A = this chain, B = another copy of it.
């Protein structure tokens, strides 16, 4: 089902958040963190996110750019029944295929509403790019769809998550990304930096990130090591912990409490 882009040997992903409501500040996006986490677990690292408005030209251009560059593209938002829901027709335009009633989606939605309720607006939710395969919606019936390497999902978080979980078993991932963390209070990032850079330099297989935190319980720095090699991530964190001790800190395994 997935059609990996030829440009990458190990799979990766891009997420497009489609919707004026995020760009206007009305809505706090709640989908990126979920997708980033789940895709990492599936061994499909998320490499880029774009948040774009409900403007046809922008959606078509962006979809065509990113579907050529990433193995998987996941879109959220813009597949409801109202005039500002234009994702589906834009995906058809991006692929250069007709946007037409999808028999399976049509039957699902027609059965959902009382007689006369499956009106023109709702029929738009059953109109899809030719060749689309449905993504089931266990929450509110109206399905998403997949065409090529583009997976079109709802913007409402509960619905998007349910759609993603129906998809997940079909996605071909690489080895999952393992993450290990340690944190310390009382050792500033600028004091850790040199030793941390040296550990990163000798461990290119692990990606080491340094994140200061500011909490009522006290400030500090969290260091995260990520990669597909669990042992290497754990060894890196052991070295970072030793570095923290050398600098007078008391390392604590894991991320700091929220």
Q: List 6 A–B pairs whose Cβ atoms lie within 8 Å, in order of A's numbering.
A: A17-B49, A22-B32, A23-B46, A24-B40, A25-B35, A29-B29
A75-102 residues with Cβ-Cβ distance < 8 A to B are: 80-84
Contact A226 B32 (CB under 8 A): no
Residue A250 at the B interface, CB < 8 A? no
Contact B29 A32 (CB under 8 A): yes
Residue A21 at the B interface, CB < 8 A? yes
Contact A83 B214 (CB under 8 A): no
Contact A80 B156 (CB under 8 A): no
**Which 3 pairs between the two chains have the least Cβ-Cβ distance?**
A121-B193, A25-B37, A25-B36
Interface size in chain A (residues, C-beta < 8 A):
66
A55-73 residues with Cβ-Cβ distance < 8 A to B are: 58
Contact A82 B193 (CB under 8 A): yes
Residue A212 at the B interface, CB < 8 A? yes
Q: Which of B27, B80, B210 contacts A189 (CB 8 A)?
A: B80
